[in-house]
């Protein structure tokens, strides 16, 4: 039986989904949707469909997608916005993948249920004026004004995944080169299955996720130094290494045509103590984060 190709985000909205979307939505937007929604959700248990009309799995796959997400303006924000996020993804067999938001990865190990290899992602940072080119609805948040911008940075790291039956477990660790210059780890577990409620296959994936980070990462996004305190009136705060967020994400996908599929995204995250104790979150944000969205994906034949 050939399963439809699965979407990741998040967010993880990583967060997708995250949240730490649609986050972790890993589409890396204000929340890691890692828009679930991150690479783990999209690739674990990934059964590549035959090219339409051929019955043969193609070596190369090219897909374009457009997701509409309703999510917080930044990780920990109480202000929600609607975003439209495009993406293009290229895959070669089950070895290499490259995507605007999933990053670039390579499976050095891919046997016996194990996958492992290097990955490069882009953290787009944070703009204190909330100039988000993907926003289509919702006001700009004022909560970040006076904190300064966090510059974008490549994140270099690796991933390990293990799948057995319909369960999969994964960990991804990345180091920021500039920007936050911190170490971040996404850990997740997922259950995937397929049903046919009306003859049309519906694939679903659900599971918990956790995001941990070093003190440099947490302090960049949640710390308040002396200058920031003077600019914002928020108390000074130094964040240490620890839990950024934890939660659960779900993704449901069904084909519309041989090449077009429709996906629904849902993600919930609760901030860990290092983030939640920040005056930014205590006074201007919220601990509970939610992401919901719809994604259309078109797969081109190669």
Count of domains for the chain: 1
Query: Which CATH number does the domain housing residue 220 bear?
Result: 2.40.160.40
Residue 19 lies in a domain: no
Token readout for 104 is: 């670039």
Residue 134 lies in a domain: yes
Residue 6 lies in a domain: no
| pLDDT tens, residue by residue, 12-40 | 333 333 333 333 333 334 334 433 344 44
Domain membership of residue 93 as a residue range: 39-300
Residue 27 lies in a domain: no
> Is this model's pTM higher than 0.85 or not?
no
| pLDDT tens, residue by residue, 188-241 | 999 999 998 877 899 999 999 999 999 999 999 999 999 999 999 999 999 999
């Amino acid at each position: 039986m050939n399963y439809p190709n699965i979407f990741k985000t998040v967010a993880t909205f990583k967060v997708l989904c995250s949240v730490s979307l649609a986050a972790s939505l890993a589409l890396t937007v204000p929340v890691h949707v890692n828009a679930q929604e991150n690479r783990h959700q999209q690739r674990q248990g990934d059964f590549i469909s035959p090219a339409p009309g051929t019955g043969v799995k193609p070596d190369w796959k090219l897909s374009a997608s457009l997701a509409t997400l309703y999510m917080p303006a930044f990780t920990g924000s109480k202000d929600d916005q609607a975003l439209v996020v495009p993406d293009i993804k290229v895959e070669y067999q089950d070895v290499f993948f490259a995507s605007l938001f999933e990053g670039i990865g390579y499976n050095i190990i891919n046997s016996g249920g194990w996958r492992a290899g290097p990955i490069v992602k882009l953290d787009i940072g944070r703009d204190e004026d909330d100039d988000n080119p993907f926003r289509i609805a919702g006001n700009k948040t004022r909560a970040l004004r006076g904190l300064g911008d966090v510059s974008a940075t490549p994140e270099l790291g690796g991933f390990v995944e293990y799948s057995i039956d319909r369960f999969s477990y994964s960990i991804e660790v990345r180091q920021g080169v500039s920007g936050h210059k911190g170490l971040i780890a996404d850990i997740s577990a997922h259950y995937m299955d397929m049903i046919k409620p009306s003859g049309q296959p519906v694939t679903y994936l659900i599971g918990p996720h956790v995001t941990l980070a070093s003190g440099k990462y947490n302090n960049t996004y949640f710390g308040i130094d002396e200058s920031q305190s003077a600019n914002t009136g928020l108390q000074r705060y130094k964040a240490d290494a620890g839990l950024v967020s934890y939660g659960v994400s779900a993704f449901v996908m069904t084909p519309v045509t041989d090449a077009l599929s429709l996906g629904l995204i849902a993600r919930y995250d609760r901030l860990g103590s290092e983030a939640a104790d920040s005056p930014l979150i205590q006074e201007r944000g919220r601990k509970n984060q939610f992401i919901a969205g719809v994604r259309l994906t078109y797969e081109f034949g190669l």
